[in-house]
Amino acid sequence: MPLGFSEIYCHLIWRVAADSERMNKATQKILERYLLQHGDDFGYKPLAVAVLEDHIHMLVKLMSGVAPGALVELLKKQIKIFLVEQMAVKSPPRWDDGYGIVSVSRAHLNVVADYIRTQRARHKSGKINKTLERTRA
């Protein structure tokens, strides 16, 4: 990876395909830990992660030279490999083709991180941000 300077923060979201298995609570916790611990391997610094039964939210600082769309596609692939090879999951989730990426200013990092950390409660109450939940044009 290039050694240049980068200060790019973004919110990432992607969903499980409509006809795929959902992620149970154990898988959700395992994947949250995986995504928090392996940022250096994939070119990001994790600031907040929430894995729900049917989608994943992340707030990340991208390392220099990392394209956000390529990162999402890489994570989709690597999560499947991790679940099958390391966790012996027989039917890992299949990912929807879409994803959402929103740039986040330094001034809004805490707001977006709090939004991600409160995902479960927000989805139960219906208090969601449509922009941060969007995966299609």
pLDDT tens by residue, 111-131: 999 999 999 999 999 999 999
Residue 2 has pLDDT above 90, yes or no: no
Q: Report the pLDDT value the prediction gives residue 111, as an integer from 0 to 100.
A: 98
∠ Cα 74 64 98 (to 5°): 30
- The topology (CATH level 3) of 8-133 is Alpha-Beta Plaits (3.30.70)
**How is the chain split into domains, by residue range?**
8-133
Mean pLDDT of 11-15: 98
Q: Report the pLDDT value the prediction gives residue 1, as an integer from 0 to 100.
A: 52
Encode 92-112: b = buried (16+ Cβ within 10 Å), e = exposed: bbebbeebbbbebeeeebeeb
Q: Which tens digit of pLDDT belongs to each residue from 25-72?
A: 999 999 999 999 999 999 999 999 999 999 999 999 999 999 999 999
Residue 92 has pLDDT above 80, yes or no: yes
